[in-house]
Amino acid sequence: MLPEGATRAPIIASLTDGKETEEAKPIAGQALAVGDDPRGQALLEVAMEGAKTVKVYSTPTCPHCKRVKQFLEEKGISYQEIDVASDMNARQEMVNKSGRLAVPVIEIDGNVVVGFDETSLRKHLDL
């Protein structure tokens, strides 16, 4: 179960020659396709170790917000989406963190990026 406001990242399978392998290493912050394997939960927990905490402060109609979320989803990065159009407390939190009333604001482990800045996102996400 995901926390309220969190978005599920795409599932990424570790494959070698089209087959899942026991030797496949999970990537921090990314989910693995584990099927019915009873070790699946342990694999998922290992994959989530070291994962970045990502929050995206956005509004439903913001095109740059949509691009940030698309970028994160393409990279398999889980994030919490916070709608500042409907949540005034979240809006104030965003302004306090960024010093600006502009979206998107992306917080990655305490580092704040304003706008869709792919270079900064890659840096803070270790991509």
Q: How far, in Å, CA of 87 to CA of 53, rounded?
A: 20
Residue 31: what pLDDT? 44
Q: How far, in Å, CA of 49 to CA of 3, rounded?
A: 17
Give residue limits of the domains in the chain: 54-125
pLDDT averaged over the chain? 74
Q: Following DSSP, what letter does each residue of 51-63 receive, concatenated?
A: PPPEEEEE-TT-H
Q: What architecture (CATH level 2) is domain 54-125? A: 3-Layer(aba) Sandwich (3.40)
Q: What is the pTM of this model?
A: 0.63
CB atoms within 10 A of CB 103: 24
11-38 pLDDT, tens digit each: 333 333 344 444 444 344 444 444 444 4
pLDDT at 43 over 90: no
Output DSSP code: residue 29: T
First to last CA, the chain: 26
